[in-house]
Amino acid sequence: MIASNKPLSQTSGNEIADQAAQGADSAIKSTQRYANDALNTLSDKVQEVRDQAAPVLNRVAEKAETLARRGVDAVKDGSQQIREKALRVSDSTVGYIKDEPVKAILIAAATGAALMALISLMTRSRD
C-alpha cells in the first residue's frame, strides 16, 4: 500500500507507518459504511415484515375473539337448555306423584333401599 514512488529502501519507517495507518483507516471506514448499509437494509426488511404481519395478526385476533364469543354463547345456550329440561323433569315428576302417589312412594322406597344396600356393600369391602 505504499503510494510513494520511492524505492522501499529509501522510504522511512515513519512514512511506512503513516501509509499503513491510512490504509487501516480507509479499511475501517469502508467496513463501517458496509456495516451501516447492511444494518439499514436489515432495518428496512424488519419494518417491511412488521407492516405485513400487523394485518395478519389483527385478523387472527379478531377470529379468536369471534370464536371466544361463539363459545360463550354456546355455553349459555347449553346451560339454558339444561335448566329447561330440569324444570320439565321436575314438573313431570310432580305430576306423576300427584297422579300415582302410592306407586311414587313405593318407587322411592325401593330406590332408597337399593342405595343403602349399595353403600353397605361398599363400606364392607373397605373393611
Rounded average pLDDT over 101-123: 92
- Which residue has cell 369391602? 125
First to last CA, the chain: 100
Residue 103 in grid coordinates: 306407586
Neighbours of 72 (CB within 10 A): 10
Length of the chain: 127
pLDDT band at 6 (very low <50, low <70, confident <90, very high): low
d(CA 20, CA 10): 16
Decide if pLDDT at 11 tops 70.
no
